[in-house]
Copies of this chain bind each other. A is one copy, B any other.
Amino acid sequence: MQTQIEALLAVSTSLLQRFHATRKRTVSLAKPLSEEDCCVQSMPDASPIKWHMAHTTWFFETFILEHFEKGFRPYHQAFRVLFNSYYNGVGEKHPRAQRGVLTRPSTDEVLAYRHNVDARIGLLLEGLVRDGASETSQTVARLVELGVQHEQQHQELMMTDVKHLLAQNPLFPAYVPEPEHRAEKVSAAAWIPVDAGVVEIGHDGAGFCFDNELPRHRQFVEAFSLASRLVTNGEYAAFIADGGYRNPTLWLSEGWDWVQREKLAAPIYWHRNETGAWQEYALGGLKSLDMHAPLMHISYFEADAYAHWAGARLPTEFEWEAAVRQSGLTQVFGVAWQWTSSGYAPYPGFVAAEGAIGEYNGKFMVNQYVLRGSSCVTPDGHARFSYRNFFPASARWQFSGVRLAKSLQ
């Protein structure tokens, strides 16, 4: 018994430390930005930095304090609506496309909100340790863990959203001097073969995972091979030079309509300078395109068209997961999310959590595609083999790239 309490104590202490570290990191990500940078919303799909800082706090207040803090009083009545992202079970929501009009509360007021909730979560966790290994303790610990993971997801979104915002500005301001991953000069990709067979897919039980990674179950994959590395900027530039954006036979029908409607001819952050040479807007500002660096900020439509042009295809998420558990692949994590051809769907036996928290993942399982791996702006410790990121086929503002696959037969 003593041991059990000590174990819990250790877990809680570690959790509390990670809670505070994660909370601190969010604030530090906003440090290089002005109050204006933190307030503006550059498109409906992106959110203001200040909103991210408030919403992640709302998450802890709404799903933990409101249920487990004695004598709970909301920090601010209006915040319950203002910073609710999409939880219908919680009640009304401020419209997503209008997040940028919230010039008030100010960043300072949001920071004060953060500090208040941080302190209260701290007290709650400490109290739970004193109470021992109750069911409530475990529920709260699980929810704090979820809140930490949730906030890490928003840390990545802060980077994608601020990049999109600054990229709209003709002055191309830098976020920080040199934040993005740069690859070494690369040689040709190798094709890593994987045999046909039944594979286990999904989280295997150790440590945290989201509900969409469960249940672990079986899939059959036919023999295939996967590229050892990601597609590079130089390879994609060759696709463009070959008329890739002007040839409808390379594209999915809906992708071609999108290219025509949006008048696209290159990835979202690529620009040509006066001499026609490629430049790329990165978090460090506008710079000449590194042809050896992995391609990023690519939509599913573009990824699929490129694969078609290259005589290959995108892997399914099951192929990806099966392959990365083997050796031979590089750039699996920490570089760019990798589009798969798998529609985002529930695993067999998937059960969403009870209540509003059950809206976390399940209700988005339509018309989105799974990305695997992680990116250069994913927080440390947030990646794993079974992780399922997902975005619509036209999304380009994420740090998303391409790993090619081929069927073997």
Contacts and interface: CB of A to CB of B under 8 A. Distances in A.
Interface of A: 34-40, 42, 78, 81-82, 86, 88-89, 94, 98, 100-107, 165-166, 168-171, 173, 196, 198, 215, 217-222, 224, 248-249, 251-256, 300-301, 304, 313, 316, 341-343, 345-346, 348-350, 359, 363-367, 393, 407, 409
Q: Among the interface residues A100, A215, A316, which one has the most CB atoms of the partner chain B within 10 A?
A: A100
B220 A173 contact: no
A40 B100 contact: yes
Contacts of A217: 222
A104 B366 contact: no
A36 B348 CA distance: 47
Contact of A88 (B86, B105, B249, B316): B249
A157 B103 CA distance: 19
B103 A165 contact: yes
**Most chain B CB atoms below 10 A, which of A220, A313, A350, A393:** A220
Given A39-B40, A198-B198, A409-B215, A169 B102 contact: yes
A215 to B, nearest CB: 7
Contact of A253 (B38, B82, B248, B363): B363
Contacts of A40: 39-40, 100-101, 103
B169 A101 contact: yes
Contact of A341 (B35, B105, B254, B346): B346
B348 A222 contact: yes
A254 B171 contact: no
Contact of A249 (B89, B251, B349, B350): B89
A56 B224 CA distance: 38
Contact of A165 (B101, B106, B304, B316): B101
Contacts of A350: 407
12 contacts: A37-B104, A39-B39, A88-B256, A103-B166, A104-B169, A220-B220, A222-B348, A224-B348, A253-B363, A341-B345, A349-B409, A367-B367
A198 B345 CA distance: 20
A89 B251 CA distance: 12
Contacts of A221: 348
A220 B248 contact: no
A173 B106 CA distance: 11
A254 B198 contact: no
Nearest to A198: B220
A271 to B, nearest CB: 15
A96 to B, nearest CB: 10
Contacts of A170: 78, 81-82, 94
Given A78-B171, A88-B249, A104-B171, 20 more contacts: A34-B103, A36-B103, A36-B106, A37-B103, A40-B40, A40-B103, A94-B170, A101-B168, A102-B169, A103-B166, A103-B173, A104-B169, A198-B198, A252-B363, A252-B364, A253-B363, A253-B364, A253-B366, A304-B366, A342-B345
Nearest 10 A/B pairs, CB to CB: A343-B343, A36-B103, A220-B220, A88-B248, A36-B39, A349-B407, A101-B168, A222-B348, A253-B363, A37-B103
B106 A34 contact: yes
A268 B393 CA distance: 28
Nearest to A218: B220
A348 B171 contact: no
Nearest to A407: B349
